[in-house]
Amino acid sequence: MEPATSFDPEVLALPFYDDSHRDLARAVGVWCDDNAPLWRGIREEDPDKAGLTLVRRLGEAGWLSFLDPAAGQAHPGDHRALCLTREALAYAEDLADFAFSIQALSATPVIRFGSDAQKEAYLPRMASGELVGAFAVSEEQAGSDVAAVELRAERDEDGGYVLDGRKAWIANGTIADVFVVVARTGGAPGALGLTTFLVPRSTPGLEVLPLEPLAPRSFAHLSFTGCRVPADAVLGRPGRGFVVAMDLLERFRMTVGAAALGFARRAADTALARARTRRVAGGLLADQQLTKAVLADMEVSLDAAALLVARAAWEADRGNRRFAHHSNIAKLHATEEAQRVVDSAVQLLGASGLVRDSVTERLYRQVRSLRVYEGTSEVLRLSIAGALDTRRADRAAADLTA
């Protein structure tokens, strides 16, 4: 039997992808299918235990091996592979996608900006799933506005840094062994005065304050009080923390779009299955014209999201400097549409779609945060509008006076 994955074979067949991606899509789909008992079991567990189990299982199965490029494993930095993996995992189980994505999110700055010693210390164990990572940039007063980060890192007499302040809304916060932390160093204002650090969980002065989000998962605020790290904890160059954060977010936004696509396809498949069996008005729900319109709108949303994610990932992989614009578009569209598709699926299932822990009820809770983290929809719209190509508008200006 074909794996029950999210992928649309007609999209996978497009020249955006090559055979290595098609092989990967098939392999991750089979793995997700084979692990159906794991997904069921994981939902019964406490979110911290579930998160740890999933990072370890992903590591053992080799799905995180690309996080250690020195080991020569497959597809380091391949955005299409990253997106396809997230799409399949999100389709199968939200917590599996969460475990995969946060591990990749926290290892990627080390891959891209770390010293040889930092890479050696962290990447092999992150790739095996032995060491769990988290990425901490947000603060209660600095969410959308990353340049407003206030957590201070002051130099001490031994050349190290002492961190004081807080971080907010950190995924994997309660289970991470190491945090990638963006802090304010020096007196430069806004984006200029930020530096990124690698802070092990065991560092004295670091306290984790657990939170419970809408969809259960490891999530926490962090408090830093006189938290000292050595000079070699700096990741990348001092004063370049904003660049590290933006480089990461630009690359990962399209992958959030891919996860949204996985959720949306699962919802659409569930809704279609129900509509084809549910009898209403003397026929099947699927045969009613109003239902057909909903199913058609879902299909168009899914197609557009899949194509936008594929384009963004392909642009990033071929090194187009405007890939970040496409990444923003893919995330905005895919997450907004996923919300609509999931809501429509709940509507088509009626009361049965709202029963706690049913597929659609879970998706309804799981999809919501995607429009908030790694760039809210509003902030993405501002960025997209700010990066518009105005050349055609320059030509069209003549029409205004004609």
CB of residue 373 vs ligand FAD: minimum separation in angstroms? 4
Distance CA 72, CA 57 (A): 20
CB of residue 228 vs ligand FAD: minimum separation in angstroms? 22
Q: Is 137 in the site for ligand FAD (CB under 6 A)?
A: yes
Contacting residue, 124, 213, 238, 239, with ligand FAD by CB under 6 A? 213
Stretch that binds ligand FAD, among 63-71, 129-137, 318-326, 334-342 (CB under 6 A): 129-137
Interhelix angle 94-113/241-275, nearest 10 degrees: 160
Give the DSSP letter of residue 27. H
Q: Which is nearer to ligand FAD, 131 or 310 (CB)?
A: 131
Binding mask 160-179 for ligand FAD (x = CB under 6 A): ---------xxx--------
Distance CA 347, CA 148 (A): 41
Q: Is 384 in the site for ligand FAD (CB under 6 A)?
A: no
* 165, 188 Cβ separation under 8 angstroms: no
Catalytic residue among 60, 337, 374, 378: 374
Q: How many residues bind ligand FAD (CB under 6 A)?
A: 17
Contacting residue, 361, 372, 383, 384, with ligand FAD by CB under 6 A? 372
Long-range Cβ pairs for the range 34-43 (8 Å, 24+)? 35/92, 35/96, 36/92, 39/92, 39/93, 39/96, 42/93, 42/95, 42/96, 43/93, 43/95, 43/357
Distance CA 153, CA 194 (A): 9
Give the DSSP letter of residue 190. G
CB of residue 214 vs ligand FAD: minimum separation in angstroms? 8
Binding mask 309-328 for ligand FAD (x = CB under 6 A): --------------------
Give the pairing of strands 161-171 and 178-184.
Answer: unpaired
Q: Which is nearer to ligand FAD, 147 or 379 (CB)?
A: 379
Reference 316, options 105, 102, 78; nearest CA is 78
CB of residue 279 vs ligand FAD: minimum separation in angstroms? 39
Which residue in the shown chain puts its C-beta closest to ligand FAD?
143
Q: Which is nearer to ligand FAD, 209 or 379 (CB)?
A: 379
Q: Quick check: is 87 catalytic?
A: no
Reference 133, options 200, 65, 48; nearest CA is 200
CB of residue 379 vs ligand FAD: minimum separation in angstroms? 5
Q: Is 143 in the site for ligand FAD (CB under 6 A)?
A: yes
Distance CA 238, CA 161 (A): 11
Dihedral sign, Cα of residue 195, residue 199, residue 204, residue 207: positive
Binding mask 18-37 for ligand FAD (x = CB under 6 A): --------------------
User: Which residues are known to be catalytic?
Assistant: 374
Binding stretches for ligand FAD (CB under 6 A): 135-138, 143-144, 169-171, 213, 369, 372-373, 376, 378-379, 382
